[in-house]
Amino acid sequence: MLTLHTRLLELAYDKKRLLVNGDMPAFSALVKEEATILRQIKQKEAERLQGTLVLDDEEKEALRPVVLELKRQNELNAVLLEQSLRYIEWHLDMLMPEADDFTYGQQALETRSFSRDV
């Protein structure tokens, strides 16, 4: 369990670096690896709850700070991801004005009469 959680923490640090650098292809690959590790942790936790895996006190004590740091890093990554999304939305809004600016609305169609007479 400690090894898996430590690897998850390493990935969380890597996610921060990738978010800051804007390397989305690498970020995507990292998320896939993270999902694999999370499945393994879920399996180990199920074994622990069934009683087939027992953690000794030393491992529990070593696991506690790793989990707390993982939580802190994930919260930071969530903030960074939210900021990135807001920046992208802002950028898109600047590049793509409202659709009403480009199209004729129903009101324009009602006020104009179109004649096919030549």
User: What confidence score (pLDDT) does residue 117 get?
Assistant: 55
pLDDT of residue 109: 53
Q: How high is the pLDDT of residue 111?
A: 56
Residues in the chain: 118
User: Which pLDDT value is given to residue 85?
Assistant: 86
Mean pLDDT of 91-97: 80
The phi, psi pair for 57, rounded to 5°, reads -60, -35
Q: What is the pLDDT of residues 29-86, one digit of tens each?
A: 999 999 999 999 999 999 999 989 898 999 999 999 999 999 999 999 999 989 888 8
% of the chain beyond a pLDDT of 90: 58
Torsion region of 42: left, alpha or beta (phi above 0 gives left; psi -120 to 50 gives alpha): alpha
Q: What is the mean pLDDT of residues 6-30?
A: 93
Question: What's the pTM value of the predicted model, to 2 decimals?
Answer: 0.72
pLDDT at 84: 83
